[in-house]
Structure 1
Amino acid sequence: MSSAPTRAPEAADGLAARLGWTADAIETLLAGLLAESPRKGEIARPARLLAAMRHGALGGGKRLRPFLTVETARLFGVAPADALRAGAAVELVHCYSLVHDDLPAMDDDDTRRGRPTVHRAYDQASAILAGDTLLTYAFEVLADPATHPSGEIRAALVLALSRAAGLGGMAGGQMLDLAAEGRFGSGEPAALSEAEIRRLQAMKTGALLAASVAMGAILGGASAAQRASLDSYGRALGAAFQVADDILDVEASPEQLGKATAKDQDKGKGTLVQALGLDAAKRERDALSAAAVAALSGFGPEADILRAAARFAAERAS
């Protein structure tokens, strides 16, 4: 378990330092939430289920989503520590999605973050239950007054995250992805148009990243105009992140990514790399990153860390 962060990041700290602080703080918070002792209102915590949840949620990852929540809230004067629980809820949903995506019925992956996936380390039933429980725990965390004293703010956070994770967001995008692979009907991969690929990716990946930003804006009490700018930022960043993922699937090694590569191409998945070609996809990635930066034009230097995050989403090597 990571040690507790010694201090909150300062305005002068760079992206790496603030990403690192958030990752450490989220690891510490998640480890506490996933401790062995039952919480108030619980009867018991089954050891195997808890171990599978901890395997899926602890010990790795960039923690980019909670970072976006923390740093967006910070734009409006919210102390980083006061946004961590909302960020942890986003990360619980993200980790649930990875546990389920890795299952044989979904993407059928054996490694994640350089370790065996949850269903390989334990078994499929434990992995399904671990994912289910990580998802439901996210909304328990958000509903708890410890996250924010205002019930109205907590309800808004729940609404934003549930919409991003559900039918019109991540889960719906995963269904579109499976259908594009030919899982239903003829069994042949579908030839998706560029617009269809963009819609799929906006749902499967982009929605949760955009919600991470929106939740920070909710915590900060952003105005309608500020929310609109941040929504544009979140959507563009999410799209850039996914195109970068598609490019890494082609160019990176399994060691770099901590998981198998070239699986999208092998399964005939529709990606912008396939639709546009590798060079054009790289130009699109960079254009989306620039669009995210441009969306923050109404903010001053206090948004520089979010601008840097948009560039990081496009330029990362893992």
Structure 2
Amino acid sequence: MAFEDDLAAAQERIEAGFDRLFAAHPHTDLHAAMRYAVSGGKRLRGYLVLEGARLHGVPDALNAALAIEAVHAYSLVHDDLPAMDDDDTRRGQPTVHRKWDDATAILAGDALQSLAFELCLAPGCHPDAEVRGDLAFTLAQASGAQGMVLGQALDIAAETSNKPLDLEAITRLQAAKTGALITWAGEAGARLARADPVPLRTYANALGLAFQIADDLLDVEGDAAEMGKAARKDEAANKATFVSLLGVDGAKRRASDLVDTACAALSGFGEDAEGLKQAARFAIARRT
């Protein structure tokens, strides 16, 4: 199956999973905002979970895929708030705080974060409680003050300090802010199989940085209407990015090198890893 078809199939599985999940919830503004927040998007993180699980012979990794998409959605809801990036659109639609209000957005994000851990720890995620606990523990590390939240805090601090970050600092920041969740998604399949997560971790670490470089390039070269969100915000805010430090051509070369590193980490899986290799190439070729 072509990668685009494979990704579309994963998107359909994840969307149907959220449909079933929220069908059992009360019909309140909170739950409507939560469902709205997890709608759409590339689902690349969920795809990485499902494909990594398939690679290891795990028949069902949907709970883990829904969990990472829930955490990602929560992070976007909070990131869009006036206290952070103050964005009006996300995925071509009004952001949650614009469609409802700030309080509903905060609560919806909080609830999506809790939902992610509920999904990891639910018996339907995996029959072995130790595996479920490991998933929840590592997701907490990836999403909290050692991972994504740390990255966001470093990003905010950099904006207010008026001290431009160098390449090493930007790499460390983005490895936490963007990369930590992608790394968890990449290695979740191995964890579900009780297999060595290191090859997929190496793959996903490189993919995460390549993905962020592609985001930085899209902010410079992308079309706001096509992306469904504002463009050229980094330059307006005078933020240090991979593009501002390496230039457009240098950033593209760095992203391409990282994709090569990611694909090389999968060499032990042979042709079975072609889907993950194509996912890495997609990460830097996308237009949204």
TM-score > 0.5, shorter chain as reference = yes
* Aligned-residue identity in percent: 51
Q: 1:48 aligns with which of 1, 21, 29?
A: 29
* Structure 2 match to 1:7: none
8 Å Cα contact 1:76/1:221 also seen in 2: no
Aligned pair 1:141/2:129, yes or no?
Answer: no
* Counterpart amino acid of residue 282 in structure 2: F
SS in 2 for 1:298: helix
Which structure 2 residues correspond to residues 180-259 of structure 1 after superposition, within 5 A?
180-182=158-160, 188-223=161-196, 227-259=197-229
Which structure 2 residues correspond to residues 1-318 of structure 1 after superposition, within 5 A?
13-35=1-23, 37-38=24-25, 45=26, 47-58=28-39, 60-79=40-59, 82-182=60-160, 188-223=161-196, 227-318=197-288
CA distance in 2, matches of 1:190, 1:173: 17
CA distance in 2, matches of 1:274, 1:209: 23
Q: State the 1:271 CA deviation.
A: 0.7
What are structure 1's unaligned runs of at least 5 residues? 1-12, 39-44, 183-187
Deviation per CA, 1:77-119: give whole Å up to 9, x if none: 122xx11111000000000000000000011100000000000
SS in 2 for 1:277: helix
8 Å Cα contact 1:74/1:220 also seen in 2: no
What are structure 2's unaligned runs of at least 5 residues? none
8 Å Cα contact 1:179/1:190 also seen in 2: no
CA distance in 2, matches of 1:287, 1:169: 24
CA distance in 2, matches of 1:210, 1:14: 24
CA distance in 1, matches of 2:146, 2:43: 23
Kindly name which structure, 1 or 2, has the bigger radius of gyration based on alpha carbons.
1
After TM superposition, the score normalised by the length of structure 2 is 0.98
Deviation per CA, 1:225-250: give whole Å up to 9, x if none: xx221111010000000000000010
SS in 1 for 2:253: helix
* Counterpart amino acid of residue 203 in structure 1: A
Deviation per CA, 1:49-91: give whole Å up to 9, x if none: 1111111112x10100010000011111122xx1111100000
Question: Which structure has more helix as a fraction of its residues?
Answer: 2
After TM superposition, the score normalised by the length of structure 1 is 0.89
* Structure 2 match to 1:5: none
Q: State the 1:46 CA deviation.
A: 6.2
Give the number of aligned pairs.
288
